[in-house]
Amino acid sequence: MATFAAASAKPMAVIDNSQLSLCQKKFDGLRVGYAFAKRKSSSSLKVKSVSRINMALATDVSRFEGVTMAPPDPILGVSEAFKADTNDLKLNLGVGAYRTEDLQPYVLNVVKKAENMMLEKGENKEYLPIEGLAAFNKATVELLLGADNDATKQGRVATVQGLSGTGSLRLAAAFIQRYFPGVQVLISSPTWGNHKNIFNDAGVPWSEYRYYDPKTVGLDFEGMIADIKAAPSGSFVLLHGCAHNPTGIDPTPEQWEKIADVIQEKDLTAFFDVAYQGFASGSLDEDASSVRLFVARGMEVFVAQSYSKNLGLYAERIGAINVVCSSSDAAIRVKSQLKRLARPMYSNPPVHGAQIVANVVGNPTLFDEWKSEMELMSGRIKGVRQRLYDNLSAKDKTGKDWSFVLRQIGMFSFTGLNKAQSENMSNKWHIYMTKDGRISLAGLSLSKCEYLADAIVDSYYNVS
């Protein structure tokens, strides 16, 4: 004990932090080595278990942590809200898809007949060429410009089948980005919500030109012309061939002449989006008159087409991009580059919708039936447009002029309601529409017009 006490009474050696740290590292190393040896002697089942734990720990942090939630699509979001509503009075006036008077989806009779023809022929499912079905391409350009059009007969049109209007616009945007880098596209204010997305994703700069005048709920033609005149030389001007989306407001034939004058004088290029040929007025020729005017002047133009509305082929994604050139040689070169762009995007387009269009347009009997069905569809929309106007005029005791509803054309109507008023339509009246005040008359029946008029009048006057 004395020895121990004496020994313990000796002054202790001072150990600094660096020595402590070294000791700790050595101890940790021994511990890790022991654990490793112990693991090596464990059964294979235990090794696998430890590996799974280590893998789970390693994947706790996702590589996609930096990916934010995308905002909901404004149109599809309207449909989701409509589906969730259990009220019997609810109306979906957001999506631009034709409905019958019973508000049910409609498959055209000529489409059913064309599909039966395909079954009888035993059409195969082989890959199409990159540019699409030859019979479709021939039919679609003749439908757009007319079979006797000089540009068609002279082979000055580069036509490539696209994935409906959206895909056709996107392909053209990629072409502009590659061969006209930095050149801007002028887009109407307002426009279809996807136009800006398409050009943004293609890396094509854009600016807006005035189009809608909220004071008159009509066309701001002077503002439109002034903005087009101010555009840099070489710019592209995106125009809605007919039934402007979202306003339903189209230029008059005289105004189209003036628009063509300015675009030609300023060395600009017109880029038409034609989504409603035959569906707007009921006449294929009348609805293509704006495009034909520009082509008749010898102007080079882009035209994107869609068959979603006029043939009801929404899910078939069938359309085309056409580039009218000054020569057949230019058209051949342009088409080759459109195909080059399409190849890495989607390789080649789907065949089913293309065969339907080719069969309908190429068969005189089906073609006449189709024109009759388009007249019926456009006629039904004109009927609800008239009924809505009558109900609005009867219920609004202030004397407000609602005639803009009749002046608009196609499936859409710009009501003039603002965001808060549009939200009142949904929250109070169970009527679902886009927040810019656009309604789709294709989703309206004659029996619901009075209810809609009540909702519009209430929202317009009672919500600021």
Domain spans in the chain, listed from the N-terminal domain onward: 74-106+373-462, 127-362
- Percentage of the chain exceeding pLDDT 70: 87
**Which has the minimum average pLDDT: 4-8, 127-131, 244-248?**
4-8
Residue 57 predicted with pLDDT over 80: no
Measured CA distances, 462 to 142, 217, 396 (Å): 51, 20, 12
Residue 27 predicted with pLDDT over 70: no
Residue 312 predicted with pLDDT over 90: yes
Structure tokens at 271: 């880029």
Residue 299 predicted with pLDDT over 80: yes
**Cα angle 268-171-182, degrees, rounded to a multiple of 5:** 45
Q: Rounded mean pLDDT of 30-43?
A: 47
Residue 307 predicted with pLDDT over 60: yes
Structure tokens at 64: 């996609």
H-helix or E-strand spanning residue 162: strand 157-163
Q: What is the reported pLDDT for 71? A: 87
Query: Which candidate, 335, 349, 137, 129, places its Cα nearest to that of 145?
Result: 137
Residue 278 predicted with pLDDT over 60: yes
Q: Rounded mean pLDDT of 445-461?
A: 97
Residue 415 CA to residue 412 CA, distance in Å, equals 9
**Which has the minimum average pLDDT: 65-74, 352-361, 443-452?**
65-74
User: Could you tell me the pLDDT band of residue 79, with boundaries at 50, 70 and 90?
Assistant: confident
User: Could you tell me the pLDDT band of residue 15, with boundaries at 50, 70 and 90?
Assistant: very low
Q: Which CATH number fits domain 74-106+373-462: 3.10.50.40, 3.30.2020.10, 3.90.226.10, 3.90.1150.10?
A: 3.90.1150.10
Structure tokens at 241: 């061939």
Residue 47 predicted with pLDDT over 70: no
Q: Rounded mean pLDDT of 151-160?
A: 97
- Type of residue numbered 415: T
Q: What is the reported pLDDT for 118? A: 94
**Which has the minimum average pLDDT: 21-25, 243-247, 459-463?**
21-25
Query: Which candidate, 247, 180, 225, places its Cα nearest to that of 405?
Result: 247
Query: Which candidate, 399, 451, 405, places its Cα nearest to that of 428?
Result: 451
Q: What is the reported pLDDT for 448? A: 96
Q: Which residues are catalytic?
A: 192, 273, 309
Question: Residue 159: helix, strand or coil by DSSP?
Answer: strand
Residue 281 predicted with pLDDT over 90: yes
Q: Rounded mean pLDDT of 111-128?
A: 94
Query: Which candidate, 397, 403, 387, places its Cα nearest to that of 449?
Result: 387
Residue 300 CA to residue 270 CA, distance in Å, equals 8
**Which has the minimum average pLDDT: 9-13, 125-129, 300-304, 336-340?**
9-13
The DSSP symbol for 439 reads E
Query: Which candidate, 276, 200, 209, 274, places its Cα nearest to that of 236?
Result: 209
Residue 404 CA to residue 389 CA, distance in Å, equals 9
User: Could you tell me the pLDDT band of residue 411, with boundaries at 50, 70 and 90?
Assistant: very high
User: Which CATH topology does 127-362 take?
Assistant: Aspartate Aminotransferase; domain 2 (3.40.640)
Query: Which candidate, 365, 448, 93, 355, places its Cα nearest to that of 373?
Result: 365
- Percentage of the chain exceeding pLDDT 90: 81
Q: What is the reported pLDDT for 52? A: 58
**For tokens 């390789």, what's the residue?**
347
Residue 198 predicted with pLDDT over 50: yes
Residue 36 predicted with pLDDT over 50: no
Q: What is the reported pLDDT for 255? A: 98
314, 301 contact by CB (below 8 A): no
The DSSP symbol for 126 reads P
Residue 393 CA to residue 356 CA, distance in Å, equals 43
Distance linking the first and last C-alpha atoms of the chain = 97
